[in-house]
């Protein structure tokens, strides 16, 4: 396994984004306040580069090789998350309907809670049917920060 770490912006609720990769795929991006020992490779380097661009408002779409996680259902949920446009949101129910299972909003939420590739697989873009923010592995402050960050950049990009 290879590891690296991105220093997050001061306004971000977490100090670091920790990156874990294999030789060929990104495996995990999780938040931490602790420094880790790094052992980078080309995948962690690319992820670190793209996360730095994302945090500095210069990147709206990631291009990283990721490894499929979990069950067939979870993988289908993650594929749908990757289709949510930058600066946009969908509800858990929207995703369940897209997957052909309109009554599976809760399993969609559960799959999101198990997502190990934060930000890159954008589970922060999924909200409740009422429009409210619900569960996020990094905490609701982090989810709110990410959505605000993306909406500000989306607005900036459409000004011109």
Statement: the pTM of the whole predicted model exceeds 0.85: yes
- Specify whether 48 is located in the same domain as 108: no
Q: How many CB atoms lie within 10 A of CB 72?
A: 8
138 and 80 in one domain? yes
12, 28, 56: which is the final residue of a domain?
56
Quote the domain boundaries for residue 39. 2-56
Residue of 117, 129, 125 lying closest to 150 (CA atoms)? 125
The question of whether 47 is a catalytic residue gets the answer no
Looking at 27, 56, 85, which one is the last position of a domain?
A: 56
Name the token pair of 17: 């984004």
Assigned domain for 42 exists: yes
Q: What is the pLDDT along the chain (160 residues), one digit of tens a residue?
A: 899 999 999 889 899 999 999 999 999 999 999 998 899 999 999 999 999 999 999 999 999 999 877 899 999 999 999 999 999 999 999 999 999 999 999 999 999 999 999 999 999 999 999 988 988 888 999 999 999 999 987 655 554 4
CA distance 29 to 48: 10
- Identify the bridge partners of residue 7 per DSSP, sorted by sequence position: 16
C-alpha angle with apex 151: 143 to 88, nearest 5 degrees? 75
Q: How many domains does the chain have?
A: 2
Check 8, 47, 112, 123 and give the catalytic one.
123
């Amino acid at each position: 396994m290879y590891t690296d770490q991105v220093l997050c912006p001061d306004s971000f609720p977490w100090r670091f984004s920790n990156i874990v990769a294999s030789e060929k795929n990104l495996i995990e991006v999780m938040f931490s306040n602790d420094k880790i020992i790094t052992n980078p490779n080309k995948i962690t380097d690319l992820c670190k580069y793209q996360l730095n661009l994302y945090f500095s408002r210069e990147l709206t779409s990631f291009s990283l090789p990721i490894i499929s996680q979990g069950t067939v259902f979870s993988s289908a949920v993650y594929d749908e998350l990757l289709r949510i446009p930058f600066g946009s949101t969908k509800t858990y129910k929207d995703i369940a309907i897209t997957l052909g299972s309109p009554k599976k909003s809760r399993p969609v939420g559960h799959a999101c809670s198990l997502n190990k590739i934060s930000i890159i697989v954008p589970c922060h873009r999924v909200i409740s049917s009422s429009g409210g923010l619900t569960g996020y592995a990094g905490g609701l402050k982090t989810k709110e920060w990410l959505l605000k960050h993306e909406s500000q950049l989306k607005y900036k990009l459409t000004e011109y």
